Amino acid sequence: MNTKEMAERARTISDAQPKLARRLGLFDATMIVMGGIIGSGIFINPYVVARQVHTPSLILGAWLTGGLIALAGAFIYAELADRYAGVGGQYAYLREAYHPSIAFIYGWALLLVTQTGGMAAVAVTFARYFLEITRAPLADWVIAALALGVLTIINCFGVRAGSSVQNALMLLKITAIALLVVCGLFTVRAPHGIAGPTLDRPVSLGLLTAIGAAMTPVMFAYGGWQTASFVAGEMREPRRDLARGLIIGVSGVVLIYMTVNFVCLYVLGQDGLAQTTTPASAVMRMALGERGAALIAVGITISTLGFLSQGMLTAPRVYFAMAEDGLFFKSVAWLNPRTRVPVLAIAIQGALAIVIALSGRYEQILNYVVSVDFIWFGLTAASLFIFRRRATESRTIEREVNSPANELTSSNESTVESTMISKSVGFRVPGHPVTTALFTVACALIVLSTVYKYPQNSGIGLLIVAAGIPIYFFWRWWRRI
């Protein structure tokens, strides 16, 4: 068999294998972006910020600043999605910009710590609210495991099934938040209002430190939109719909978060917000009594379940991409011929999340990784500088190839190169390179602040991530034998 016949046979085998089903559109992308951000945090976190800065202006300013930073990140990821619409999203950006080892370490941390630990923690939160509502005679770990198991099964039925559940839960989240806002604005008889001074102290290092401390929970509350990029390989028009979905979704969340915080301040006042650890419940209790508190508990339960659904839909695509690259078990890249989803990758995600939820170690794991989560944000944002430089170099080469001296000898290469470049000049980040640099610097400052405040947990988190380096070289060796 000659080389041409071997290549044709390989192409035939590849074509016969099932591919990821491109069944997601702009609405799905937007719901996935919003679902990856909004969990239970917005119902609880406002009080954490209010304990760091003590005026309505500073509190709302912190949330607005965080929203603008998140929006800057969304613009960056939108251009990255336009430039490279490969499966795995952020994993693929890191691989193409830097090196497969960097992408592997990201996937390693995602599977073993960041994504799985977060899902386990949210699953237990869901279970506790569920038991509070239903009074079912079951342990929280049982409900958490059941929720994770059911979502795992649903997502194995196909990306459309998983996305439909995620979309429905996201719409219910928005309904619950709308109920909180309407009740807070129009049914509370004696709201505190939001009048007050702009600053709680003179401009000083102490004020800047307090603002920095307030920004940490704000930025983590805005995190999660990047996971929508994982399912780029299953979007009908990933370059168009993922880019638009990121911007629309993050903008929508900024509006929601600002509105919720305004309502909490309007009803409870700054002091009342800082004194309660359940601000959403406190607002609804003032609006509708205990019935209101019960209603918002249902909303929080739905919100946490929706967050789990989003994670189960998106993260396994990274492990699938790793397996396709030969950096994970080959079987993880297997697609069910009927549903065309990576069922083993989904099952691994669900099983590990259940194990961590049962172990009760999820909170400790999360404490280890908060410092490294924004490292990946910063590295991914910085990759845009690399992609833009390569695009500039490609255009230079194209001009040289298309010069009269080379026109006759390189027409085919010119056509291919032109096609590649045309795919990389669609959406562009407004204000680049300034906005991209500012976002990257903001990520670095958050990492440094977290390491400074929690040196032990941050050190352990960095060691967990660094442990992925020898594992990467092991997989490379394993692939050769």
> What one-letter code names the amino acid at 462?
L
Q: Is there a domain that residue 419 lies in?
A: no
What confidence score (pLDDT) does residue 425 get? 53
What confidence score (pLDDT) does residue 16 get? 54
Predicted confidence pLDDT, tens digits, the chain (481 residues):
443 443 344 344 345 567 898 999 999 999 999 999 998 888 888 999 999 998 999 999 999 999 999 999 999 999 999 888 888 999 999 999 999 999 999 999 899 888 888 898 889 889 989 998 988 899 889 999 999 999 999 999 999 999 999 999 999 999 999 999 999 999 998 888 887 788 888 888 888 888 888 888 898 889 888 999 999 999 999 989 999 999 999 999 999 999 999 999 999 999 999 999 889 999 999 999 999 999 999 999 999 999 999 999 999 999 999 999 988 999 999 999 999 999 999 999 999 999 988 887 666 666 666 678 889 999 999 999 999 999 888 778 877 777 665 544 444 433 333 333 334 457 889 999 999 999 999 999 888 887 887 788 788 888 888 899 999 998 888 877 7
CB-based burial label for 232 (10 Å; 0-12, 13-18, 19+): buried
Would you give the distance in Å from CA 163 to the centre of its chain? 16
Confirm if 196 and 269 have CB atoms less than 8 A apart.
Answer: no
Measure Cα distances from 41 to 183, 220, 277 in Å. 20, 9, 11
Confirm if 20 and 341 have CB atoms less than 8 A apart.
Answer: yes
Measure Cα distances from 408 to 400, 404, 413 in Å. 12, 8, 11
Contacts of 227 (CB under 8 A, 6+ apart): 32, 36, 89, 90, 115, 310, 311, 314, 315
**Residue 319 belongs to domain with CATH number:** 1.20.1740.10
**Full domain range(s) for residue 141:** 20-366
Q: Is there a domain that residue 409 lies in?
A: no
How far apart are alpha carbons 70 and 250 in whole angstroms? Answer: 7
Phi-psi region of 127 (alpha: psi -120 to 50; beta: other; left: phi over 0): alpha
Q: Is there a domain that residue 408 lies in?
A: no
How far apart are alpha carbons 120 and 141 in whole angstroms? Answer: 10
Tokens standing for residue 335: 């697609």
Tokens standing for residue 226: 């990047």
Confirm if 150 and 142 have CB atoms less than 8 A apart.
Answer: no
What confidence score (pLDDT) does residue 316 get? 96
**For residue 85, which phi and psi values (nearest 5 degrees)?**
-100, 35
Give the 3-state DSSP-derived string for 217-230, with helices as H, strands as E and coil as C. HHHHHHCCHHHHHH
- Per-residue burial over 423-445, b = 16 or more CB atoms within 10 Å of its CB, e = otherwise: ebeebebeebeebbeebbebbee
Q: Is there a domain that residue 252 lies in?
A: yes
Confirm if 188 and 283 have CB atoms less than 8 A apart.
Answer: yes
Confirm if 219 and 370 have CB atoms less than 8 A apart.
Answer: no
How far apart are alpha carbons 31 and 54 in whole angstroms? Answer: 33
Q: Is there a domain that residue 79 lies in?
A: yes
Cα dihedral 284, 287, 292, 293 sign: positive
What confidence score (pLDDT) does residue 255 get? 97
What Rg do the C-alpha atoms of the chain give, in angstroms?
24
Q: Is there a domain that residue 4 lies in?
A: no
Q: Is there a domain that residue 48 lies in?
A: yes
What confidence score (pLDDT) does residue 261 get? 96
Q: Name the nearest CA neighbour of 225 among 314, 108, 346, 163.
A: 314
Our count of domains for the chain comes to 1
How far apart are alpha carbons 59 and 55 in whole angstroms? Answer: 6
- Per-residue burial over 304-343, b = 16 or more CB atoms within 10 Å of its CB, e = otherwise: bbbbbbbbbbbbbbbbbbbbbbebbeeebbbbeeebbbbb
